[in-house]
């Protein structure tokens, strides 16, 4: 299920609303000066109900879906207790920049009846999906590509394949820029918004990451700001749970980001339950169990042994709709279904932490992005190399490029998968914290130097546990430089003992090679769906090549493309 608002603006469409779907509500407005009709639908879940809005007044129609982490803070700041009244006040005060003052996992819109002006926005980090398509007579905005496909077909406009997006999926495992696999259908990135005027729609921004200014200042001052702002962000998340009477659930692994979350939550006095998922006896499990024991916290462990969630093909295709390769967050979706979520509120995580604090920095000076750094498959990269080179030139730094292309288009998928259960949050996504990180010069973030110094200065107790990335305790940044060699030695030892599969949280290739059922499943899907791209001989040939010559993950890239073409009724 996809949650959020669907807005249809078109001339001469029906003035009645179809609200037959489960939990669906709607409003309609007909222009007094033209034949334009504005329809607003709301697909909602029951999580954090008091944070949601969908209402109509004499002057406007508006809505907010999701969870607003700073809602109580805004109420206290402006001394307005009712959320609807506060929302109207904020719009009057900030107009189209209202989203810049909200923090959380949300999307929203506001439509002025008199001027027929519409704004539709997602949050700072695109953890809420918003897609849009426009023609010369109107537009549709919604949280589901399938809804856009059905809408286009109903209007006699069959969806067509965006070939550049298809090759992006077959190489990076996700989308190019803000595209989808349907030509002319786009997704909002973090900080973006849509402005509608009558039947016309244009893209705008309430926060421009590409305008970030690098600030040279003392390292100590930066670390102090990181600590203070992270603690504020953490408090907003955990207090939101408490406001609703919920218990706290956090993901925990062997990395730095999740331990930052649970250690600081423990320091602040919050009682946290943890969720860990990985191959049994992998470092993530061992480290997470040790941390939970130290903190005297409950931990749920879900073994991913055998990768059985790879068989959940249709379920994950319906969640991601071809925006990313389907197993990418399928393990998270699989794991969350294994525990009883009743009583829990938000899912607290360390999402984006390492990415915004140095993982994507390839050199100690600011420079252009390494376009090959995060390829899932190199085999077809020449087909997309030129447009990617051009795209790289559009960004002011390597950091900002990877924020848009890696996080907004790929890593954020964990939040998409969780929304039907709970909202996934992270202190690292807090707008003010994100801004501090993006302003840090590259030489501080290289090899995550400033991150490690922050931990050692303020939270040295975290360093008694091994860091899964390096196999060593996180004491010094130079450890990352030598870790490839130490990990090779460890890998050799594991292979000699016949336990090479335990070197990875999700050893897809090992599972594939040792599971005839998985081999048959992938082959069956491919055989049934490959004809869907016969209309493009080049793409058909490349898809065949990648599936037949590729490893297990490369095969799922092809399966995702074929499944999305089928799901979205795309013409190739």
Domain ranges of the chain: 4-207, 211-280+330-477, 516-567
Angle subtended at Cα 416 by Cα 412 and Cα 422, rounded to the nearest 5 degrees: 115
- pLDDT score, position 484: 64
Mean pLDDT for the stretch of residues 66-85:
98
Fold type of domain 211-280+330-477: Rossmann fold (3.40.50)
pLDDT value for 24: 67
Residue 420 is predicted with a pLDDT of 92
Please check the confidence at residue 120 and state whether its pLDDT lies above 70: yes
Per the prediction, the chain carries an average pLDDT of 93
Share of the chain above pLDDT 90, in %: 83
pLDDT of residue 136: 87
Burial 108-138 (b: 16+ CB within 10 A, else e): bbbbebeebbbbbbbbbbbbbbbbbbbeeeb
- Supply the pTM of this predicted model: 0.94
pLDDT per position as a tens digit, 381-421: 999 999 999 999 999 888 899 999 989 998 898 899 999 99
pLDDT tens column, 163-181? 999 999 999 999 999 999 9
Q: Write out the DSSP string of 84-136.
A: HHHHHHHHHHHGGGGGGG--EEEEEEEEETTTTEEEEEE-TT--S--EEEEET
Give the pLDDT score at 371: 86
CATH superfamily of the 4-207 domain: Aminohydrolase, N-terminal nucleophile (Ntn) domain (3.60.20.10)
């Amino acid at each position: 299920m996809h949650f959020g608002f669907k807005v249809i603006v078109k001339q001469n469409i029906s003035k009645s609303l179809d609200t037959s779907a489960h939990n669906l509500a709607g409003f309609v407005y007909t222009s007094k000066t033209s034949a334009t009709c504005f329809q607003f639908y709301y697909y909602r879940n029951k999580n954090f109900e008091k944070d949601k809005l969908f209402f109509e007044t004499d002057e406007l129609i508006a809505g907010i879906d999701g969870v607003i982490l700073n809602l109580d803070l805004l109420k206290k700041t402006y001394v307005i207790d009712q959320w609807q009244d506060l929302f109207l006040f904020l719009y009057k005060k900030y107009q189209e920049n209202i989203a810049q003052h909200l923090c959380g996992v949300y999307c929203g819109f506001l439509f002025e009846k008199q001027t027929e002006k519409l704004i539709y926005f997602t949050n700072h980090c695109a953890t809420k999906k918003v897609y849009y398509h426009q023609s010369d007579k109107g537009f549709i905005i919604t949280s589901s590509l399938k809804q856009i496909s059905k809408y286009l077909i109903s209007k006699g406009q069959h969806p067509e394949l965006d070939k550049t997006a298809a090759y992006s999926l077959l190489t990076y495992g996700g989308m190019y820029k803000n595209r989808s696999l349907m030509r002319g259908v786009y997704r909002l990135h973090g900080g973006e918004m849509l402005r509608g005027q009558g039947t016309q729609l244009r893209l705008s921004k309430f926060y421009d990451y590409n305008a970030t200014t690098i600030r040279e200042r003392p390292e100590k001052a930066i670390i102090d700001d990181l600590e203070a702002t992270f603690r504020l962000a953490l408090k907003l998340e955990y207090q939101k749970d408490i406001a609703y009477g919920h218990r706290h659930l956090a993901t925990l692994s062997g990395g730095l980001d999740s331990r930052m979350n649970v250690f600081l939550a423990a320091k602040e006095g919050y009682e946290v339950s943890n969720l860990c998922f990985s191959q049994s006896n992998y470092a993530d499990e061992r480290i997470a169990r040790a941390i939970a024991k130290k903190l005297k916290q409950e931990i749920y462990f879900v073994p991913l042994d055998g990768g059985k969630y790879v068989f959940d093909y249709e379920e994950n295709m319906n969640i991601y709709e071809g925006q990313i390769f389907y197993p990418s967050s399928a393990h998270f979706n699989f794991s969350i279904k294994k525990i009883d979520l009743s009583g829990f509120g938000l899912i607290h995580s360390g999402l984006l932490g390492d990415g915004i604090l140095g993982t994507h920095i390839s050199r100690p000076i600011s420079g252009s992005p390494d376009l090959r750094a995060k390829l899932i498959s190199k085999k077809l990269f020449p087909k997309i190399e030129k447009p990617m080179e051009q795209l790289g030139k559009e960004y002011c730094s390597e950091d900002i490029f990877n924020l848009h292309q890696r996080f907004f288009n790929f890593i954020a998928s964990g939040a998409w998968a969780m929304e039907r259960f709970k909202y996934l949050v992270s202190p690292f996504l807090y707008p003010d914290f994100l801004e501090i990180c993006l302003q840090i010069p590259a030489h501080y973030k290289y090899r995550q130097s400033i991150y490690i110094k922050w931990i050692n200065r303020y939270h040295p107790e975290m360093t008694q546990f091994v860091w899964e990335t390096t196999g060593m305790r996180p004491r010094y940044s130079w450890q990352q430089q030598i870790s490839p060699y130490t990990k090779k030695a460890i890998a050799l030892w594991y292979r000699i003992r016949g336990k090479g599969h335990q070197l990875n949280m999700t050893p897809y290739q090992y599972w594939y090679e040792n599971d005839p059922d998985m081999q048959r499943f992938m082959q069956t899907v491919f055989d049934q769906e490959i004809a869907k791209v016969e209309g493009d001989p080049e793409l058909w040939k490349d898809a065949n090549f990648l599936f037949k010559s590729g490893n297990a993950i490369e095969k799922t890239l092809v399966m995702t493309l074929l499944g999305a073409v089928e799901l979205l009724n795309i013409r190739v």
